[in-house]
Every structure is written in C-alpha cells, then in structure tokens.
C-alpha cells in the first residue's frame, strides 16, 4: 500500500490527510514536532485572552485520527534523503515514504538583533510561544511593560493580547503608518488612531536597534534605532513577519528559494515530493498573489487540491479571487479582490473611500478609471459576505452596481441600512465633484 508521509500537522497537512482518506485507502502518516494533535493557530490569541481553552482550539476529537487510520508521529525531521526516500529524525531513527509532502509552515523572522535570543524575547507562532507568553507575561506585575516589534497582522494580535491583561505596550512599527505596505493611507491612519485610543504607545517609523539584558540573561530594555531612546521592558515580542520553516531541507536535493519551490500542481523538482501551505513558493505567481501565501484558507485549498492529485485526479492549484480578513483590536477588516495602496496602485486603478464620522468604520472600493469595473473592496468595521463579492468579481460588475447593491453584500442588512444612505450620498457627491 502506498505510504504518504506529511511533515507538518497544520491546516494544510491535515486537510490533505483528511481528503486523501476520503478518496483512498493509502497509508497516511503526519509528523509534527510541535503538538500531537492539530489545533487552530489563528485561535491562539483567544486562549491567552481567556475566551477559550487550548483544548477548544482542536477542531477534531483525539480519537478522530485513529478512527480514520491517520497515523500521528510527534518528532522533528532533521533531514530528507530523496534518493532513498528516507526521513531522519532528531532522535536518530528514520521513516521511509512513497510520496512526501512538506507542509512545515513558517517561523517568525529574526534579523540578527543584538539580544534577540535573551529570555523574555519571543515570537507568536507556536503552542510553545503561547506557553512562553503565559510565563513571560502572566500579568502586569511580572511584566511591567512589553515591547512588540513589527506592525503586521500578528504584531497587532500580540498587542491586543497583552493589552487584555492590562500590560502597558509599546508598539514599534518600522513603517510611517500602521501596515501601510498594504493598506491605503486613509485606512492605515484610522487604525493608527484606533491603536492609540486603546492606550498603546504606538511608535511609527521606529526600528529596533538592540535588546539589552539584565544580569540573569533576561531582557531588561530595548534601544530604538532612530532616537537612541532606551525603553525598560520585561518582554519583547518579535513579530516582524514570518518565513518558510525549511532549514532542515538545506542539504537535500529539493529546490528552495525563500520557500520550497513548486509548480501549479504543488510538485517540487523531485519526483514524489510536494509542498503545500505557508512553506510553498509558487514558481509562477497566480495572478496578483504573492509567490508565498502565509494565510489559512490557501493552506486548506492547497491541501484539498493536492489530495486530488495524489489520488489520481491531477489538479492545479487555483485559488480564485483573493480575499483575506483580520482584526485590528476592535475593528474587523475584510478584503476581496485587489485594493492597492498608493505606492502599489497601478495607473488604471482609482478608489472610492468612505469613512464614518465615529472613525471606526470605512470602506475603500477600487475600480478601473476607464470603464468603472469593480476591482476590489476593503471594509473596516462592517462585516460583508464573501460569496457576494466573489460573484461580483467573477461577473465583472461596475462600481455603480456595487454601490447600489452593497446592502445585499452585508451580513446584517438591518444594521447596515444606517450606513447605506451615507455611502450612497458620499458616492453621488464624488460623482458631482469628479
């Protein structure tokens, strides 16, 4: 019986295993060093914030895997020999495979900062990071101030987590405005104000220079590059992005760039070896998407797609229209299609922007200047329906159509109707002044 070995029990690896089982009788082994059972990484923050226990982050009961004949092995793979189809574990033992799938996810970036490995300096990625955070920052007596370095989606989650325990937080953001490498100016500036309204010490255009130690090897302060200011703190959260977790492949024949290089069928350069999820790097990008997509649903889609291929129905990875969602403290963010910021905006793209007077809700719609075609939408503080925007993008709807039907895309049309008139009024104003 063919043996499929999957390294990584995250969303991509377990989706693959579940779908292979639905389609075949193959022998399946999932290996992970992190935890025995799959859990939802995106829910880690809610465990620290007390909204759920770690047990609740496991979508499947522990008996599920045995019942579905999916073997779980908790171990760390140190190297891969593709000639003999053998994996080597840190404990010295080995396992062989017929098909190998690399689904090893990401690791937090460290940029060689002095002091980056001190006690009390950590990322936010793994179950072990959650445990470390509980130790390093249980409350504001043990952790009198935390510094979070890196203004992305994980950074703002860590800020919110610490803030929920009343731990004072300084947030060092390299960019001149929060996440403005992605968000248009108006949105990014609204989020700056929102972060500050929670009492967070937001420092824009600020880089970490150095982390200082006390006499016990624990963090005592950070130094800010631009000003030289020394800030006393008990925790430093490093959230300056992630990179594929693939160091263990460096002596193998498998081609890597930043991630494991794959074609549209998620195949690597080596026969019978595939990669999916955060660690996969597309040789040719899909539309405007990045070659590495470190998001939950694309990992799931890659797992579903590869299961088809491995079970005899060869299928390319085809993720459809881009969408994503996140939360910036109390403000929910969703994006569908493409809305570029001012720096990345192509010549043909124009924006319609509306912001509520309370400064906690806004939308930006991107459209083509020449024919008004709808290109994408960002919404903040107003929850929209994915399937509606997906359909409108496929149907090449116009900006006028989208504005006049926005209500249909809203999760809660009753609640939304109060904003609908304001958005339409703002739109007709724009038309009159254009």
The alpha carbon of residue 222 and the mean position of all alpha carbons in its chain are separated, in whole angstroms, by 26
Q: Provide CB contacts within 8 A for 264, sequence distance 6+.
A: 282, 284, 286, 316, 317, 318
Query: Is there a contact between 272 and 324 (Cβ–Cβ < 8 Å)?
Result: no
| Least distance from ligand FAD to the Cβ atom of residue 160, Å | 11
Task: State in angstroms the smallest separation of the CB of 80 from ligand FAD.
Answer: 9
Considering beta carbons, is residue 10 or 337 the nearer one to ligand FAD? 10
Applying CB under 6 A, among 7, 202, 260, 339 the residue interacting with ligand FAD is: 7
Say how far apart CA 123 and CA 291 lie, in whole Å.
23
94 vs 408, beta carbon nearer ligand FAD: 94
The only residue of 6, 28, 34, 190 in contact with ligand FAD, by rule CB under 6 A: 34
Residues in region 368-397 near ligand FAD by CB under 6 A? none
Give the CA distances from residue 212 to residues 245, 346, 370, in Å, rounded to whole numbers and listed in that order: 27, 43, 55
Q: Judged by CB, which is closer to ligand FAD: 206, or 245?
A: 245
Region 245-274 residues binding ligand FAD, contact defined as CB under 6 A: 245, 248
Given CA atoms 39, 40, 46, 52 in this order, what sign does their dihedral have?
A: negative
Residue 372, Ramachandran bin (φ over 0: left; ψ between -120 and 50: alpha; else beta): left
Would you say 34 or 267 has its CB closer to ligand FAD?
34
Largest Cα separation within the chain, whole Å, is 73
Two tokens, residue 101: 């799938």
Q: What is the DSSP string of 287-325?
A: TT--SS---HHHHHHHHHHHHHHHTT--------S-EEE
Task: Provide the angle, in degrees to the nearest 10, between the axes of the packed helices 11-23 and 296-310.
Answer: 30
Task: Please answer whether residues 95 and 73 qualify as being in contact, where contact means their C-beta atoms are separated by less than 8 angstroms.
Answer: yes
Q: How many residues bind ligand FAD (CB under 6 A)?
A: 34
Nearest residue to the partner ligand FAD, using Cβ: 105
What is the closest distance, in whole angstroms, from the C-beta atom of residue 198 to ligand FAD in the complex? 19
In the set 4, 5, 6, 9, which binds ligand FAD (CB under 6 A)?
Answer: 9
Indicate the SS3 state at residue 156.
helix
- Give the total residue count for the chain: 434
Closest separation between CB of residue 231 and ligand FAD, Å? 24
Q: Which of 16, 77, 133, 409 binds ligand FAD (CB under 6 A)?
A: 77
Contact letters for ligand FAD, residues 398-427 (x by CB under 6 A): ------------------------------
Which CB, 133 or 172, lies closer to ligand FAD?
A: 133
Q: Figure out which of the listed residues 22, 25, 42, 314 binds ligand FAD, where binding follows CB under 6 A.
A: 42
Query: By CB under 6 A, what part of segment 140-169 binds ligand FAD?
Result: 154, 157
Q: Which two tokens stand for residue 396?
A: 């090449």
CB of 329 to ligand FAD, least distance (A): 14
CB of 108 to ligand FAD, least distance (A): 8
Residue 126 DSSP symbol: S
DSSP for 371-427, please give it: T-BEEEEEEESS-B-HHHHHHHHHTT-BHHHHHHHHHHHBS-HHHHHHHHHHHHHHH
Which residue shows structure tokens 């509980």? 134
Among 4, 10, 266, 366, binds ligand FAD (CB under 6 A): 10
Q: How far is the CB of 372 from ligand FAD (least distance, A)?
A: 30
Binding track, positions 103-122, relative to ligand FAD; x by CB under 6 A? xxxx----------------
Given the complex with ligand FAD, which of 154 and 403 has the nearer CB atom? 154
| Site track 228-247 with ligand FAD (rule: CB under 6 A), x = hit | -----------------x--
- Comparing CA positions, the residue from 9, 10, 5, 6 lying closest to residue 295 is 10
277 scored as a contact of ligand FAD (CB under 6 A): yes
Residue among 4, 6, 13, 211 that touches ligand FAD (CB under 6 A): 13
Q: Which residues bind ligand FAD (CB under 6 A)?
A: 7-13, 31-34, 41-42, 44, 76-77, 103-106, 124-125, 154, 157, 245, 248, 277-278, 294-297, 299, 326
């Amino acid at each position: 019986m063919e043996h499929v070995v999957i390294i990584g029990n995250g969303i991509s690896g377990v989706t693959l295993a579940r779908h292979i089982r639905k389609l075949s009788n193959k022998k399946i082994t999932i290996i992970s060093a992190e935890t025995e059972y799959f859990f939802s990484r995106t829910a880690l923050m809610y465990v620290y914030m007390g909204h759920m226990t770690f047990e609740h982050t496991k979508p499947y009961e522990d008996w599920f895997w045995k019942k579905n004949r999916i073997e779980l092995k908790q171990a760390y793979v140190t190297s891969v020999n593709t000639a003999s189809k053998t994996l080597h574990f840190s404990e010295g033992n080995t396992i062989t495979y017929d098909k190998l799938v690399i689904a090893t996810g990401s690791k937090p970036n460290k940029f060689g900062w002095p002091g980056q490995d001190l006690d009390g300096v950590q990322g936010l990625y793994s179950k072990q990071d959650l445990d470390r955070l509980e130790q390093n920052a249980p409350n504001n007596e043990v952790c009198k101030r935390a510094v979070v370095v890196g203004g992305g989606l994980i950074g703002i989650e860590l800020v919110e987590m610490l803030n929920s325990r009343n731990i004072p937080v300084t947030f060092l953001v390299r960019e001149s405005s929060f996440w403005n490498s992605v968000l248009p100016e108006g949105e990014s500036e609204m989020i700056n104000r929102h972060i500050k309204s929670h009492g967070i010490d937001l420092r824009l255009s600020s880089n970490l220079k150095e982390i200082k130690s006390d006499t016990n090897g624990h963090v005592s302060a950070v130094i800010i590059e631009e000003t030289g200011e020394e800030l006393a703190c008990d925790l430093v959260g490093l959230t300056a992005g992630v990179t594929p977790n693939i160091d263990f492949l460096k002596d193998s024949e498998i081609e890597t760039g930043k991630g494991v290089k794959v074609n549209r069928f998620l195949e690597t350069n080596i026969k019978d070896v595939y990669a999916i999820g955060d660690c996969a790097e597309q040789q040719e990008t899909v539309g405007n998407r990045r070659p590495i997509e470190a998001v939950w649903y694309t990992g799931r889609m890659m797992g579903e797609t590869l299961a088809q291929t491995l079970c005899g129905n060869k299928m390319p990875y085809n993720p459809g229209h881009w969408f994503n969602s996140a939360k910036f403290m109390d403000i929910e963010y969703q994006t569908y299609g493409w809305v570029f910021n001012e720096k990345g905006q192509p010549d043909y793209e124009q924006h319609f922007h509306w912001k509520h007077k309370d400064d906690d809700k806004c939308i930006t719609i991107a459209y083509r200047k020449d024919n008004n075609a709808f290109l994408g939408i960002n919404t903040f503080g107003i929850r929209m329906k994915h399937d509606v925007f997906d359909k409108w993008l496929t149907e090449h709807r116009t900006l006028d159509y989208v504005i006049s039907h926005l209500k249909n895309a809203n999760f809660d049309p009753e609640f939304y109707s109060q904003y609908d008139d304001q958005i339409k009024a703002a739109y007709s104003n724009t038309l009159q002044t254009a």
